[in-house]
Structure 1
């Protein structure tokens, strides 16, 4: 097919570029220029004339005031007042009256206007009668047959009233009107009454024109304005001016027809010229267009008609060959392809529509489809049955007429449901039941929803309403709501607390009275059991109480228990309970009635106790901060000491006596490490770090540590049961329990009295078969009085003298035991001694990855991988020098950095060319934790081992969570570090946790 010019090129070259655009531009510019010049000239002429007229009126009235005042002042008192006379004056007066003013006005009273006797001017002509001079509204004098204005001026004893001839004003306006007969000049007073009008009849009648739109605008504005509005049925362009102080309105305008005639003349002339020129051009263009476009399009219209009638499409190949330009040829080919595709798609859509119709008719719910105006387009058979409307009659009807629905509760119409879905475009579902009013007048209950139907562009084309018969469901729900309302009112108004407990002690239902007793919300109560509101002993008593009820299946009478509400207040409640059963009779929980029988405690004492607790808590927080700083520095010193000791031991013959001395020093460094950890454990509130341990060994080690702090007069007796199960607990916290109980026993005996402290361990099972490891510490001290026995576990409660006790010993033990899910009990007799029994639960222990990793590291210790490079990051210079020397002795290539910032800079310069990083956790600057975050983000495949002296730190407990491959606790031995490095450098490395050996 040969190349042909495009239709766009032909049309642009022949029509737009050569003819249409130049003519259109010239015509628009000419019309705009002529119109703008005409309006501007008219506005200037009108403004000039209004100003001239304003000056004339102002000068005329001012001269009249001045002339009359002179006549009143010069009038002789002997003259007869109230007589008419005339005199020569520049101002034309018809007549003048001079009369004596009333006595009240002459004496300076407030002016009171009245016309003199013999004057036939009505008083209504003077609207402003409270201030002098008094000026009437202009009026047409029938006697003089001309426009007249009355002016009255007051002197000392006489006043002068004159009728002013306004013929000069008429003449001035007439001259302006004669110069341009189409000019329209109207003078009005402030009320819209005519002073001057081109029509003598209107002026003689002094008609009020305030009803005219143009006059309304002029009366509204106090400043000169230009208006365009109707006056006497004609569109008028006018200029308004207000004459002060008499508030006359001067309107000078011209009908729009006279304004636009010149513009219309030139516009019509231009348009006619352009029309004739364009006519001949268009004729030529039409002939050419017929040849290039119309004939081919006619043929393609025939093709489209065949497609619409679903007939065979004529072959368009000849048209493509004969087309005069390329676009038409291409369009013919595409039309041929598209027409066949449309016919195929039409057939598929027809089949799909029949399938959708069958599905719609098979749905068990009523379905109605509307258009965008809410008129029904389609409905299924179920909708016909529910509404009573045949679909042939319903189609085209508004949906609210066919589906008339009201709220079943309020009986209000629900038409807004359909309107809201149409206007907002959001699906709407009526939450309750609706009443459907059918065509035969009957009603039915239904549930319904409405959702918008959108086209491909997202525009709303209508809504689909789905509803179903819900008569039986409505009746059942109504009965259920009535029953629920009855029992809810009973529950909410009764003073006793009613609650339902699950077998695990969690509240599944309660009334407001229980929330008031516990001083908490329902959401807060969901996460708690009755154990959270009692101490361990009371909780155990409650457990036994409910266990007995559950076992016997019978209800129990009132029993008192001591609880603490959510605010920590101590309360006493009496409860009765019974078994709650399922439908099959099996017990599923308890029904409990409770009453608050607590006496109110004094608010002042509670306030003082809380204040002391707060001060002591702040003190302990400060102690924790101080302990963390000391521990970091001390661990660095211990690490350097133990490292150099290990180097010395490696270089010393094991048979040399000095080797034994060095081992003793190293053992002392590890004991110092344990002391630091105990200090951190006491100063911090941390979650237990569980590990398996020999409980008897822990007790032995702790008692050895305490020997020096116990007077020689006190004997320690140990009865440790053999073959105890492995205790899974936090070692440091268990040691803290032993220390605190032993210290309490020592203080109970006293420093100067002989006594015995017995420490006993055992294992036993309770009634449900659960195993417990027990620690029992008893003394022969003074005992605990019964009246304070319930308060010994309260924080900061102590019976010691000020400065000799903090009251945190037993509260710390209680917190540790509770955190381990254990229990503690106390028995005491005054004068005979006290026994504390602490039970820790027996737990199954599965070795974690950390333990297996350490064991594997020990078993697989060997030489350093060839060429392995390690980056040491620590702020202690001596420690860097020590570890660098030790690792280089083992064959590693070691790089050091004193801070996290320098470590990141080294890695950036070396492009991360190290095999592992040993990172100190506590450093100045960005710190170890922040540095670890950057390492994980920038070098995710680089192994990192964290070195820390704080075993309770969250990274030390779970390094994998923070992206570290291992953790090693300071001070550590070289072999621990080597094992950790070898483990992470192996291809199948895993998280490594290493401590110190032989500690």
Structure 2
């Protein structure tokens, strides 16, 4: 070889050496056939921490972990490079300071032209950061898989682009009943109802998710055992970096119980709203009825006096009688309003329902007509109830008439009874106890849900103008509620209606003390009567009726004036006071009078039933509107 050629080779070798030493991202070094390190670049120094003078002449196995050395990995790497012409792999290596790093290793055998092994070229790259990122990602993926698998309240699974299942979590197994091996590979439409599959809902869900980026819905789904559950479903498409659809993520939640609970809550709210509405209307109706009763008291009282004084004039008599009949219709209307408002005066007593129905059977049959068949079914063990006889008769007549009107082409009405013991308050009844259910059923036109919901509202009627007040059912509702029972109405369109009156059974004490029929009282001798009422018209009318009976009347428009007059007058024989008065009501006035003169008789006049306390509960009551005969009877009772 010429000197020039030698110089050229030396320059090339120096350049190569400089190039190798300049590389700091790779550890590049040579080892002889026995694995002894013969060269060392700057990258090797940076990665492994050894200076060149510290490492030359050392065996390359010192970079391996103790476990890998024990397993013979260093020699196996050289053997592989000799056998296959190259070794490539990844693994943990050890720095001078004992710390570990993850590296990618390439070992190439170096041979002379004759094929003799001169040694090995070894290139190592530090991939610790990448390895740690991969480990972190792997751990994250494992944790995510564990999280998804451990979720039992949600069905979480993946779909291939064609809608077939690719995985299945514990929640999906719990909610839908399938094990993973039973559904993976199946099309997700398996969970849809037959009608939804026929309507193409599964495919529509996937198309919506692809088009809009998300599909969300609430619908019925089917479990493995065939039962249905109401589900909240979310489907999200999964796209690759290149925009390729990889599949879908699907989350399903069983909301059957939550939906039912929400429905119950809404029904409860509606019932509360209805109760509040009825209470408000009841208060309004009671107030109107009270004021109207005052007016009727005046009208009827004056008509009664006029009727007495017109003599035998037939034309005037007919006019007065006609006006009286009109006023009495007003009385009937106010009684219905008071019944709805639960403010009417009730005379509760023990009532045998079969005897009551039998007593009005003639009136019932004549009212129903020949096209309507009436049938009664009374249970043999029926017990008496606590009720107002007249109001209960009116309720049965009202229900029977309504049933007749619902059967224009004729039909059948069944009046039946049964006794039931209610042990808890889970029913519609107000409290536990024994009840009698009086039922009036027909097979007429029935009512739809909208009509049924308003049927007991006051003034609601489906009859023509002038054919009904709309107070019948509301009156029955109020009357039964005032007794401590319940009025339940059931109806289906074109099938019929069932009206149930749940009435508390009579107690033993009530059975032992039946109501005594009242007899007409004889007239009372002339008295000095104090009349107290804040309505001047009622005050004047009542005074005229009493004076017509021969009594002397002292009038007062308030409780305070009444007390003042009572202290001045020494010979007041009787006090008739209105209950509803401002500042001092009738009960308070009665207490004040009793404090002054304990023995004076007191009568409480009222337009509706009111809650009284103490001795006032024992005082005679005069219900408005009242007639002269009513005054005679109540005065006789008070003066006993």
Q: Is the pair's TM-score, using the shorter chain for normalization, greater than 0.5?
A: no
TM-score (norm. length: structure 1): 0.29
Q: Looking at both structures, which has the greater relative contact order when contacts are Cα pairs under 8 Å and sequence separation is at least 6? A: 2
TM-score, reference length from structure 2: 0.44
The structure having more radius of gyration, on CA atoms, is: 1
